[in-house]
Amino acid sequence: MTTSAPRVLVLTQEFDPTVDPVVTTLAERGAEVVRADLSYFPRRMTVTTSDFGTTRRTLRLRDRDGDGVREIDLDRLSSVWYRRPTGFDFGPDMAEPEKQFARREAMQGVGGVLRATNCLWVNRPDVDAVGELKPYQLELAKRLGLRVPRTLLTNDPAELAALLADADRPIAYKAFTGGVIHYPGAFPAGLLTTVVGEEIHEHLDRVGHTMCMFQEYVDKAYEVRLTVMGNTYFPVTIESQERDTTRVDWRGESAEMPYGPYRPLPEEVVKKTQALLTELGAVYAALDFIVTPAGEYVFLEVNPMGQFMWMQHDMDLPLGDHLADLLMKGGPFARGEVTQVGY
C-alpha cells in the first residue's frame, strides 16, 4: 500500500468493456492504473523476484512496438483487479511439448509471484477457482442456513431415471459453467436452465457423458441479482415471471430486462450471505436468488467474476464508481457492516 497515489493493476483481456469505465474513473481520481493481459507473458511481459542485492518484485511491460518499457513495483500495489485475463502466449515457434512445459512453469512462477503480492485482490484467481465450484457453493450455503433447491449431481443415467420416477416437483437441468459452447466458425451458444420434459427419457444415456446437475424447480414470485463489492450490496429485482422468455431462466431475455422495484434484502439473508462470502474469501461476487410466492429467499449460485456493467447502464447504478473506490482503498479487507444501495 502506498502513501502517495494508489496503484492499481488490472489483469484482463484487451477487449473488456466492463473494465474501460472503471479504469477511466480510477485515472480521474488520481490512481495510477496499469492494465495488462497474461497473454503478454513471456514475449511482452517479464516477471522477476530476487533476493540478491536489493530485494525486489517487478513486472515489466513492453509496448507493442518494443520501444517503451513500463516497470511496476509489485510491492507498491494498492490492489489487483483480476477480471478475465487470457492465457499465456508462447508464440508460434515453440513446439507443443515445450509449450506445455513452459505453461506449467509459468503457472507456478508467475502465479506464485503474484499470489505473494501483499495487497487487495478482487478476487485472487485461486479464490475465484474455488468459488466457481457449484457443488461446493451449495454445500456451504446449506451449512450456513440458506435454503437451496434439492439437487442431484451425477453422471449415472440410472440415478436420474430414479429421480424422475419419484419426483414430486418439475426437475430442471442446469449447467455448472454457464453452458457456453463455442463451435468453430459460429457465435458462442449458451445452454439456459431448462425444465426437463418427457423427451429426457429418450436421452438418458447422455447423462453418462459428463457430470450433470438437476434441481427441483422452485416456484418464483421474482428473482434477485445481488452484486457485492466489498461490504456494499446492490440487490436488483427481476420480475422474471412476467414473460415466458425469463420464466425459467432470466438470461433468456436478450432485449429489455423485466426489472422490478428496489427491495432491500432481509437482514437474515444479508447475514448468511456475508458468512458465505467470508468462507469463499471473495471480495467481489454476483449472487442469484429466487424469492418464492411465500417470500422465502432461495440461493441459486455465486458468480465470483459475474458481470455488472449491464445493470449500471440499465439502472443507472454507480457500480463502476463503487468498484473504483474499493480498488483505490486497497487492503486489508474484512467483511463488516453492510450498506445496501437502491435505485
Taken in order of first residue, the domains within the chain and their CATH numbers are 7-118 (no CATH), 150-216 (3.30.1490), 219-340 (3.30.470.20)
Q: What is the model's pLDDT at position 65?
A: 74
Q: What is the model's pLDDT at position 177?
A: 87
SS3 assignment, position 140: helix
Q: What is the model's pLDDT at position 183?
A: 67
CB 61 within 8 A of CB 40: yes
Report in angstroms the alpha-carbon separations of 156 from 38, 138, 165, 172, 182: 38, 20, 15, 16, 26
Q: What is the model's pLDDT at position 188?
A: 59
Q: What is the model's pLDDT at position 3?
A: 55
Distance CA 185, CA 158 (A): 36
- Does the predicted TM-score (pTM) go above 0.85? yes
Q: What is the largest CA-CA distance in the chain?
A: 71
Dihedral Cα 7, 12, 288, 175, nearest 10 deg:
-160
CB 122 within 8 A of CB 306: no
Distance CA 17, CA 40 (A): 19
Q: What is the model's pLDDT at position 189?
A: 61
Q: What is the model's pLDDT at position 255?
A: 77
- pLDDT tens for the chain, 343 residues long, are 445 899 999 999 999 999 999 999 999 999 999 999 999 999 999 999 999 988 899 999 998 876 789 999 999 999 999 999 999 999 999 999 999 999 999 999 999 999 999 999 999 999 999 999 999 999 999 999 999 999 999 999 999 999 999 999 999 999 998 766 666 666 656 689 999 999 999 999 999 999 999 999 999 999 999 999 999 999 999 999 999 999 999 988 767 899 999 999 999 999 999 999 999 999 999 999 999 999 999 999 999 999 999 999 999 999 999 999 999 999 899 999 999 999 9
